[in-house]
Chains A and B, each alone.
Chain A
Amino acid sequence: MKRKQLSAALLAATLLPASVFAGEVEVLHWWTSGGEAKSVAELKKMMTAKGDNWKDFAVAGGGGDNAMTALKTRVVSGNPPTAAQIKGPAIQEWGAEGVLANIDAVAKAEGWDKQLPPVVSQVMKYKGQYVAAPVNVHRVNWLWVNPDAFKKAGAKVPTTWPEFFEAADKLQKAGIQPIAHGGQPWQDATLFESVALGVGGPAYYKKAFVQLDQATLAGPTTLKVFETLQKVKTYIDKGAAGRDWNLATAMVINGKAGMQFMGDWAKGEFTAAGKKPGKDFLCVAAPGTAGSFTFNIDSLAMFKQKDPAAQKAQADLAETVMSKNFQEVFNLNKGSIPARLDTPMDKFDDCAKKSKADLTAASKSGGLVPSFAHKMAMPSATEGAIDDVISQFMNSSMSPKTATERLAKAGKVH
């Protein structure tokens, strides 16, 4: 069967004129809605302009869960896509399976090492060689605030945890739900990591959630994080269980709730409702995390291709993804900021500009940390086990002490 296919391919190759040697790129992604889909459409346009065919392989759902299932079966069946949306340590896991393609040639020619912050380029490499190209940087440790609600309650926008609880009390007295939250595991983890970063600081965060140091995970800081989280929990309404994040955002938009912990994609929801940053809503760093930056980077990992035309198209794809032009267009649509440092920022809004400034500052001060809630910091098995503990804590009367013990135990899963 295979031989037949091969000989057919050879036959076709000898008969057809050279112009059809244009390669095909098949890209597995889960950017299927609104601004995201538009962003990918731009990529397609740029690739077509280079003479490559774009074969769309969009699989949405569950933050990429479905896409990963589809990807695994494709790799097992022996025809992987050209590139797939894979991020964080998962790139290392796929690299270890020996299926990723080396794109160092492109990276060297384009000078990626100079264009990317070291923390970012490190994630894109497997054993020192580029196997993936980053498209954006999301900041996760944002607090979204409705200033009208705060004015009504006479509260001040918090920068520390004591200030936060003071403001929350005032909001509650004014009949406003202090925190809008959705009780889904990834949202619980997002909230947790902002609290952990705010309470423990970047050094603790890195030791506990990147190095998975047992003593730190089981230590007093973790206990304090859970105690703070327990207090935060009391300002969340009961109906939060299972709520989608954007419905929580809607509560902030229409003033039912005062604030929400969420990454910078929440901005899209505000602007879609016709709200202006700085006026109708505020983006501030989560309490105690002003100098730090939890990053969540989307990237395209490249899979080994047999066909030389496909290899060339793959190189085109890597080059295009890292072009200033694409980085700008993509991120304007998506609400994030470009991964490439030298991309001009003048078209971006204030929240994005602030994000960029904080990224640069945090990258110098050591406050730049990967978001584990968004699969950037640890192996998927560990992250899953830690998510389980956090969401069990959020949805039961588990004591901070028990939660700390369980978290440490979960940190051992790998």
Chain B
Amino acid sequence: MSSSQSQASLSALADRWLPKLVLSPTLLISLVFVYGFIAWTGWLSLTESRLLPQMDLAGLIQYQALFENDRWWTAVANLGIFGGLFIGCTLAVGLFLAVLLDQKIRAEGTLRTIYLYPMALSFIVTGTAWKWMLNPDMGLQKVINDWGFPDFTFDWLVDPDKAIYTVVIAGVWQSSGFVMALFLAGLRGIDDSIIKAAQVDGASLPVIYWRIIIPSLRPVFFSVLLILSHIAIKSFDLVMALTGGGPGTASDVPAIFMYQFAFTRGQLGLGAASAMMMLMTIVAVLVPLMYMETRSAKRG
């Protein structure tokens, strides 16, 4: 009796410390490799580093140069347009597909793989396929013109004002499958009996989804939002392969801006400054949201 009691208190003690112990390596890693490296970049952004890093502080000259660079502001505006549309559309399409697939569909496995496969292909080459399809001279526009609709135009890819929207189309194509998978995993975790009970009460299927099921997927929405903003902010391959930031610099985004200045153009300091601006925006906008969501997420 007493020995089992002491054992229980020992395991209670272990249970108190174990969680913290288990989490600590990850925290240490993130302290060094995320926060340490951010600090390093912050320092670089205050130097005149060109080809390789050098550590002598030079004040805020890089930020001044950044704010005077109109390409940077194009990139920021594009991120706003692209980010908003991409996140909204991908979320809607992904959820829609997941709900449809949840209706006990025949050939679900095949369809699921079809929706997911774009994620598997590297954009190094997929970008070329999209470029061809969206190109007015050889792609969709030409096909539809040849079908007997000569007035049909679809030339967003080569229109500086609309090029960024083609990036949205390809981006949704690539990412919505994974969002569907996340939602599907969430849907499959929901207890069937809730739905059955609601059906007994006479609620129609759309109402059940809208009122009961989708709200219970709140944590999934949170994951999806974080993932999509991660993809949007870091979107590099996608834009690079599809428009290369063009026509001109019309579809430039911050990730490309930073990469080019830091690595191709030998203006490491300026690249670091743009990275810091990206990070600061994220911290200012997303961190409070993330914290609120984490706190308010009700368990069970």
**What is A's interface to B at a CB cutoff of 8 Å?**
62, 65, 68-69, 72, 75-76, 90, 93-94, 96-97, 183-185, 237-243, 379-381, 383-384, 388, 391-392, 394-396
Q: In the complex the two chains form, is B248's CB within 8 Å of A72's CB?
A: no
Say yes or no for B264: interface residue by CB 8 A criterion. yes
Contact between B247 and A242, CB atoms less than 8 A apart: yes
Chain B positions within 8 Å of A, measured between CB atoms, are: 50-53, 71, 131, 135-138, 155, 157-158, 160, 163, 240, 242-244, 246-250, 259-261, 263-267
Q: How long is the Cα–Cα vector from A396 to B246 in the complex, in angstroms?
A: 11
Ranked nearest first, the 6 interchain pairs of A and B with the lowest CB-CB distance are A395-B248, A241-B158, A239-B137, A395-B247, A241-B247, A384-B265
A391 proximity list for chain B (CB < 8 A): 246-249
Which residues of chain B have C-beta atoms less than 8 A from A383's C-beta? Answer: 265
Find A396's partner among B131, B136, B160, B265 (CB 8 Å cutoff). Answer: B160
Contact of B265 among A76, A94, A242, A380 (CB under 8 A): A380
Task: Closest B residue to A409 by CB, please name it.
Answer: B68
Whether A238 pairs with B264 at a CB distance below 8 angstroms is: no
Asked if A241 and B53 make an inter-chain contact with CB atoms under 8 angstroms apart, the answer reads no
CB-based nearest A residue for B136: A239
Give CA–CA (A380, B264) in the complex, Å: 7
Evaluate whether A97 and B246 lie within 8 angstroms (CB atoms) in the complex, with A238-B158, A242-B131, A242-B158 already known. no
Cβ-defined contact, A384 with B260, below 8 A: yes
Measured in the bound complex, the distance between the Cα atoms of B249 and A68 in whole Å is 22
Among B53, B243, B265, the one with the most A-chain Cβ atoms within 10 Å of its Cβ is: B265
In contact, B135 and A239 (Cβ under 8 angstroms) = yes
A379 to B51, CA, bound (A): 11
Cβ–Cβ < 8 Å partners of A394 in chain B: 247-248
Q: Please, which residue of chain B has its CB at the minimum distance from the CB of A398? A: B248
A68 pairs with B264, CB closer than 8 A:
yes
Compute how far the CA of A243 lies from the CA of B50 in the bound complex, rounded to whole angstroms.
31
CA distance A381 to B264 in the complex (A): 8
Q: Which residues does chain A contribute within 8 Å of B261, judged by CB atoms?
A: 384
Closest to A384 in B: B265
* Contact for A242 among B138, B244, B259, B260, CB less than 8 A: B244
Chain A interface helix/strand/loop/mixed: helix
Also in contact, A395 and B52, with CB within 8 A (given A239-B136, A380-B264): no
Q: Assuming A391-B249, A395-B247, is B131 touching A384 (CB within 8 A)?
A: no
Residues of A within 8 A of B247 (CB): 183, 241-242, 391, 394-395
Task: Give min CB distance, B43 to chain A, whole Å.
Answer: 15
A380-B264, A395-B250 known; A241 vs B157 contact (CB < 8 Å): yes
B53/A76 in contact, CB under 8 A: yes
Please pick, from B52, B158, B243, B250, the residue contacting A97 in the complex, using a CB distance under 8 A: B52
- Tell me the minimal C-beta distance from B190 to chain A in angstroms: 45
Contact A392 B249 (CB under 8 A): yes
Interface centre among B71, B137, B240, B259 (most CB of A within 10 A): B137
Asked if B51 contacts A94 (CB within 8 A), the reply is yes
Chain A residues contacting B52 (CB-CB under 8 Å) are 72, 75-76, 97
Distance between A406 CB and nearest chain B CB, rounded to angstroms: 9
A selection of 10 A-B contacts at a CB cut-off of 8 Å is A76-B52, A90-B266, A96-B51, A185-B246, A241-B157, A241-B158, A381-B50, A384-B260, A388-B71, A396-B160
B-chain residues with CB within 8 Å of residue A395 when the two chains form the complex: 160, 246-248, 250
With known contacts A72-B51, A72-B52, A97-B52, A242–B246 Cβ distance under 8 A: yes
* Interface residue from B157, B242, B263, B265 paired with A72 (Cβ < 8 Å): B263
Roughly how many angstroms separate A380 CA and B265 CA in the complex, as a whole number?
A: 5
With beta carbons under 8 angstroms apart, the residue of A97, A241, A388, A396 that contacts B51 is: A97
* Complex alpha-carbon distance, A358 and B42, angstroms: 51
Complex contact A65–B264 (CB within 8 A): yes
Closest to B74 in A: A392
Q: Across the interface, which residues of A come within 8 angstroms of B266, CB to CB?
A: 90, 93, 379-381
CB-CB under 8 A from B264, the residues of chain A are 62, 65, 68-69, 380, 384
A68 to B271, CA, bound (A): 15
State how many angstroms separate the Cβ of B94 from the closest Cβ of chain A.
28
Closest beta carbon of chain A to B251's beta carbon, Å = 10
Q: Collect the chain A residues with CB atoms within 8 Å of residue B71's CB.
A: 388
Shortest distance in angstroms between A73's beta carbon and chain B's nearest beta carbon? 9
Known contacts A239-B135, A239-B136, A388-B71: A69-B248 contact under CB 8 Å: no
User: CA of A185 to CA of B51 in the docked complex: distance in angstroms?
Assistant: 22
Whether B136 pairs with A68 at a CB distance below 8 angstroms is: no
Nearest-neighbor residue (CB-CB) of B132 within chain A: A247
Complex CA distance for A62 and B256, rounded to whole angstroms? 12
Most chain A CB within 10 A, of B50, B242, B250, B266, is at: B266
| Cα–Cα, bound, A241→B155 (Å) | 10
How far, in angstroms, from A11 to B136 measured CA to CA in the complex? 65
Known: A90-B266, A240-B158, A381-B265. 19 other contacts (CB 8 A): A68-B264, A69-B259, A93-B50, A93-B266, A183-B246, A183-B247, A185-B248, A238-B158, A239-B135, A239-B137, A242-B135, A242-B247, A243-B135, A381-B50, A388-B248, A391-B246, A391-B247, A391-B248, A396-B248
The CA of A336 and the CA of B248, in the complex, are separated in Å by 29
Complex: A65 Cα to B265 Cα, angstroms: 9
CA distance A44 to B160 in the complex (A): 45
